[in-house]
Amino acid sequence: MNGVLNVHKPLGMTSSDVVVFVRRAWHFKKVGHGGTLDPEAEGVLPILVGRGTRLFDAMMDMDKEYLCEITLGVVTDTQDSTGQVLERRPVRAEREALETALEAFHGPIEQVPPMYSAIKMQGKKLYELARSGQTVERKARNVEIYGLQVISDKGEGRFDLWVRCSKGTYIRTLCHDIGEALGCGAHMSALKRLRSGPFCLEQSVSLETIQNAAEDPDSLLIPMDKVLEHWPRVHVREEYHKKLVNGNTLPPEAALEAVPEEPFLVYGPEGLVGIGKRDEAYFRIKTMLI
């Protein structure tokens, strides 16, 4: 069994908890996830099964879409509602002021990763250092916000925001930084992932559905090339098939199509072989999927 499962992760579970659940429900050994979703968040969590685990790098590059709740006037040490309150400030910003502040966060921006994150420094994860009372200097990272808007005003300084962003974006840090821009501070009080790459919430499946499909997991698995269907495809001539599956570098005449510069899916006579990479005029398999 190989492919990707579009799971609706419930609140309270870690991404690793969902991996363990699928592994036990389907009695599979090779299961992973395609991008962490924190326990206090719910929504789309791609689960990689079998050779689908080899798509991890490709999955991490995909953009994401979220619905988040921002609460103005309250700053926490984790930048979300699970942390300790550091400050309470008066809130004078209304929806119009928030919408104006959001304009500065469109496009490429820099984010300083929060201390409560899984990034490793000094051989330890940042959240481990934070829990021991340490704070270390973190380098800002470049991310991109493709879309950001206010969806609703829920009163008492709480607003729902829609966000579409690049990989590596911390939504709680985005909320924190928006609060600083307004001068009143803020934290992320709720989060739902609506989309991760081609996987959307409307087509995700519950843990109960996964459990009930234990006898026929293929009915829920999405084929690997379907996941990357927006990528270009290159078909290799039959006489080069053996060299292809052995990982050899191939000349351009081995392909039936022009070999693109960006990553592409490679097919042999029997179907999908892997993810290809161009090296000047030549090309080879970068990630074998068979």
Measure CA 170 to chain center: 11
- Out of 38, 77, 218, 279, pick the active-site residue: 38
Catalytic site residue 57? no
Tokens in use for 3?
């492919």
Cross-strand bridge partners of residue 110: 142
Q: What is the DSSP string of 267-283?
A: EETTEEEEEEEEETTEE
Backbone phi, then psi, for 223, in 5-degree steps?
-55, 150
Cross-strand bridge partners of residue 134: none
Q: Say how many CA atoms lie within 13 Å of 81 toward its Cβ.
A: 13
Enumerate residues 6+ apart whose C-beta is below 8 A from 179.
70, 72, 73, 75, 185, 186, 187
Work out whether the CA dihedral 123, 127, 129, 135 comes out positive or negative.
positive
Question: 142 with 151: CB under 8 angstroms?
Answer: no
Tokens in use for 101?
């502040």
Work out whether the CA dihedral 63, 65, 66, 72 comes out positive or negative.
positive
Just list the catalytic residues: 38
